Structure 1
Amino acid sequence: MAEIVNRVANSKLKTFDLEEIYPEGERVAIDISQWLENGFILREKEFRVQLKSFNWNHYTDKYVAIHCSTDAVLPAYTYLLVTAHLSGIAKKVVQGSLANLELVIFTELLQQLDTKPYENAPVIIKGCSNKPIPESAYLLLFQQLEKVSKSVMFGEACSSVPIYKKKK
């Protein structure tokens, strides 16, 4: 009887799992309509007073997305004032939804990606994840890997979909 050999483990195939670079930390959203009169009207003086008296410590070491759930028309500085109170407290602050927050986090991570280990190698981008990886993160990752790798596939080693192969 022949010995069973794991050809995938012995191959030059490199696997990239976005979950492995997923930064830990709670993600939270702040709705600024809570500080607006009737949820719509910004009165700067009252707004500043409310921000100053708010307990910002709830956001220590958290990733924060600031948004307004109403159709209030707000001056651009509104989000800056909230961000100023989170500065030095939160890990990261963005304007928008929690989905926007994840995209910003991954964009920054992937812009700093060391691609040397993937040079001229066949790479598979692992597709299944248990963490909320934004779909756009896969596109950003592909764009980084395409520049250096021999080929890029998506999925699992046993059932991958070819995406790119370097021309000879």
Structure 2
Amino acid sequence: MAEEIINRVANSKLKVIDLEDFYPEGKRVLFDIKDWLFEGLVLREKEFRASVSAHDWSQYKDAYISLYCSTDAIVPDWAYMLITMQLEGVSKLTVIGSLEHLESILYASIISDLDLSIYQDMPVIIKGCSHKPVPANALVLLSQKLKPIAKSIMFGEACSSVPLYKRKKM
């Protein structure tokens, strides 16, 4: 007679939080402004403004945009602000930096708004493997938010987790 296999993880109080579950769907665009600079290096205001005005911004409807310059040009802040004005009401979010920076900002907002009360005094595993881009910064922010409320925090999977924090018994 075979013994019944018991899933001890499923029967435990262990709570798993997977940041991938909160991944905001939508197109990501890395927008390089170098082509709007003279020889890719010098911003000429009149020509730059003309390029911004002539561009079809509707193609970025509901997208997440990361503005950057791939050359060593010194780009004044107002240039990115001018582009952002065009994307207001079109894109879901516009930032300056890499796509990883964009994801980090998205997750910072999500984590800030998360109600983590269900993890109060519970052992928690922050799931480590994901198929969507979850930046390391998001894991750090979530850890910080969980520490005051969780009994313990681990990272990874239930079968092989790394302990990070355990509240001291009083």
TM-score by length of 2: 0.95
Other-structure match for 1:68: 69
Paired residue type of 1:78: A
Paired residue type of 2:29: V
Q: State the shift of 1:4 in Å.
A: 2.4
Paired residue type of 1:164: Y
CA-to-aligned-CA distance 1:76-97 (integer Å, 9 cap, x gap): 1011001111110001100011
Other-structure match for 2:94: 93
Other-structure match for 2:15: 14
CA-to-aligned-CA distance 1:121-161 (integer Å, 9 cap, x gap): 00001111111111111111111111100000111111111
Extract unaligned runs of 5+ from structure 1. none
Give 3-state SS (helix, strand or coil) of 2:131's partner: coil
Extract unaligned runs of 5+ from structure 2. none
**Map of 1:49-68 to 2, 5 A cutoff?**
49-68=50-69
Give 3-state SS (helix, strand or coil) of 2:168's partner: coil
**Map of 1:31-46 to 2, 5 A cutoff?**
31-46=32-47
Partners of 1:157 and 1:97 in 2: how far apart? 32
Partners of 2:10 and 2:149 in 1: how far apart? 22
Partners of 1:164 and 1:14 in 2: how far apart? 14
**Map of 1:17-166 to 2, 5 A cutoff?**
17-166=18-167
Partners of 1:128 and 1:76 in 2: how far apart? 37
Aligned residues: 168
Partners of 1:95 and 1:42 in 2: how far apart? 17
Give 3-state SS (helix, strand or coil) of 2:114's partner: coil
Partners of 1:30 and 1:4 in 2: how far apart? 52
Other-structure match for 2:5: 4
Q: State the shift of 1:65 in Å.
A: 0.2
CA-to-aligned-CA distance 1:39-82 (integer Å, 9 cap, x gap): 11111122111111100111111110000111111221011001
Paired residue type of 1:111: S
Partners of 2:38 and 2:165 in 1: how far apart? 53
Partners of 1:3 and 1:165 in 2: how far apart? 32
Give 3-state SS (helix, strand or coil) of 1:128's partner: coil
Q: State the shift of 1:167 in Å.
A: 1.0
Partners of 1:55 and 1:10 in 2: how far apart? 55
